[in-house]
Amino acid sequence: MPHDYSCLETALARYARVALLDGFTPIQHLSRLSALPELNGCNLYVKRDDLTGLGGGGNKLRKLEFLLGEALAEGADTLITWGGLQSNHARLTAAVAARQGLPCELILTPSSIRTDEDFRHNGNFLLDALFGATIHQLPLGAAPDAFAAERVAALREQGRKPFVMPLGGSSPRGCLGYSACAGELLRQSDALGVQFDRIIVPNGSSGTHSGLLAGLTLAGSSTQITGYSVLGTTEQTLATTRDKSSQVLQLLAPSAVLDEARINVDGSQRGEAYGAPTDAMLAATRLLASREGLLTDPVYGGKAFAGLLASIRQRDIAAGSNLLFLMTGGIPSVFAYRGAYS
């Protein structure tokens, strides 16, 4: 039975939004992977949010559609955000600012896990400069939010109107981007004639997971979501996802109630720390590349895909399930992690 998207679309239309995607991103069947006996007859599909186009692509563009809408509605003339040295969100904020003709300032913090030359100079960091952003590199342990507040004050003194994009783009307003994606993938599911039993996502700042869950809830879809935590502990990620999902659902429909039993977070693939490579991630990214010719990043998608494969092999997922893996992009970081693949 086709889904009803009207309530979701009406709710989303209340919020300012700037179109940054060229239509729907495709859903593709991984036929060669699905044929592997070890995958127990499961049908693997991917939602190609790595193909969003602008700035090298990635899931953050969906969030930036609503955040940029909010910024322009407030009359902003400068975009500011912060993140790690290889932040996908920072890269795409810089690309969006370039497209809009706005100055952009990125506040980047180093990693205590990786300090090699590729990590410090390649990947997203290289692209940030190409997009024309002003880059502020902070020392390890410095507080980027405090530095951002200083930059906001300094710019306002100059008569500018800066807008601070939240970490990972994952404010409740930014999360609306993935509520919109929920409606998109439900339309595609109906068109394909495939009912997905489960959607699998990486969960860092919880915005993608939370936005999807809120959107599916409002659309009346029972499809389950599993988020593989790559940043916080399982408990931290579960709490953040619960809070953000509730906040996003309140933006969409104040009377709606979140079923907290639907929040499924798996922390088995995080490894020793955020951004730390794992053997399972390396094996999963190599399998996807060598079997299907597709790339997924080592920080987010690689760990979530490793978790999906492990769940199938351990028979935690029913045989023959239709599974949709959300490819969130972040491909430039593959080059920053060259040493991990050596």
Could you give the CA distance from residue 262 to residue 74 in angstroms, rounded to a whole number?
A: 35
With CA atoms as reference, report the closest residue to 174 among 60, 86, 49: 60
* Cβ contacts of 239 within 8 Å, gap of 6 or more: none
For this structure, is 171 an active site residue?
Answer: no
Q: What angle do CA 90, 139, 113 make, to 5 degrees?
A: 75
Task: Write out the DSSP string of 263-307.
Answer: EEEE-TT--SSTT---HHHHHHHHHHHHHH-----TTTHHHHHHH
Burial (Cβ within 10 Å: 0-12, 13-18, ≥19) of residue 155 = middle
Catalytic residue of the set 87, 246, 311, 333 = 87
| Number of H-type helices and E-type strands within the chain | 14, 10
Report the C-alpha gap between 91 and 125 in whole angstroms. Answer: 7
Which has the closest alpha carbon to 206: 149, 261, 166? 166
Q: What positions carry a catalytic annotation? A: 87
